[in-house]
Amino acid sequence: MIDAVTPRCYLAREDKFMVLDNVSDEGFTVCDKHKFLDYDRVLVVLQSLAKLHASSIIYEEKRSSELGEHYRLTDDHEEEFEESFFNDRPDFVNAKGVEASVKGVVKEIDIFGFPHKLPSGKSFPEMAEKVCYKVYDLVKPSKRFRNVLCHGDLWATNFLLKYNINAQPTSGGCKFVDFQCGRYAPPAQDVLSVLYLTTGRGFRGEVHVPGDRDFMESCEEQKLFAIVQAAIYFPLILVGNDLVEAYFSDAELNEKALFEDRSYLVLAHMNKDESYTTRLKESIQDLKEYCDYL
């Protein structure tokens, strides 16, 4: 089942290279990161995501039956599932990157003119910083809900879609790539990531995601992850390619934007791209609405 939603891998050398199917030859194309996905595209992505998640459950159940005992992927692959982005280990390579991202998110509250005081009387900047760091716990395997192989990084450039002659996405026409943030977590985490990273607040307010009680409760638990992920990701991933090249080719700018304070990116780009500004504002609005109830 997993072969249907990922390119076939023919050869891999750890930390060196991978040889994959060129799925563009089959008609798959990358989405425009600056544009929201519509309902039909979101549906195709979620249908393929369900296959990805189901494949690990099927594998675990088969192995449990073969071994005659409870089996989970982490029994054999705990090292491979070590968190690669939101890792709270003190010496973790991306610790400064996360700190710079959170600092940028907090500064966006002022940049976009959000009030500092929440309905509870608490400080929005202080609560925003506090809830952002809760992401470290949310990426760990759940002790309550069933965990699966999650992609972990489902923004628009990490999956490819295939379209028919009417320019509509085809059923099953989605391939996932770039599993560097793959983790063992509840499937709701990936589902909500897709919705918060590729659609707008208007879309999310209109569309109901059906599910059983356990799944919906898991969605409530994982909603904060998706909100924080979007707020942290957007200042960097939605920047135009020309500015990305400028920042990454300048050592000083690169250090400031990536490892000191992401608000440098926001201030440099917000007046050049209306969609960039809109999506960043929406991400802070989502964060505020979450903090309003704390």
What is this structure's pTM?
Answer: 0.94
pLDDT in tens, 231-251: 999 999 999 877 777 777 888
Domains and CATH numbers, the chain: 2-292 (3.90.1200)
Confidence of residue 90 (pLDDT cuts 50, 70, 90): confident
pLDDT in tens, 186-205: 999 999 999 999 999 999 99
pLDDT of residue 31: 95
pLDDT in tens, 261-275: 999 899 988 988 899
Classify residue 99 as exposed, middle or buried by CB count within 10 Å of its CB (0-12, 13-18, 19+): middle
CA dist., res. 187 & res. 193, Å (int):
10
pLDDT in tens, 28-78: 999 999 999 999 999 999 999 999 999 999 999 999 999 999 999 999 999
Contact 271, 280 (CB under 8 A): no
Q: Indicate the Cα dihedral angle 162, 40, 281, 217, nearest 10°.
A: -110
pLDDT of residue 246: 76
pLDDT of residue 255: 87
CA dist., res. 61 & res. 170, Å (int):
30
Average the pLDDT over 2-22 and give the result: 93
Secondary structure tally for the chain: helices H, strands E? 12, 7
pLDDT in tens, 150-177: 999 999 999 999 999 999 999 999 999 9
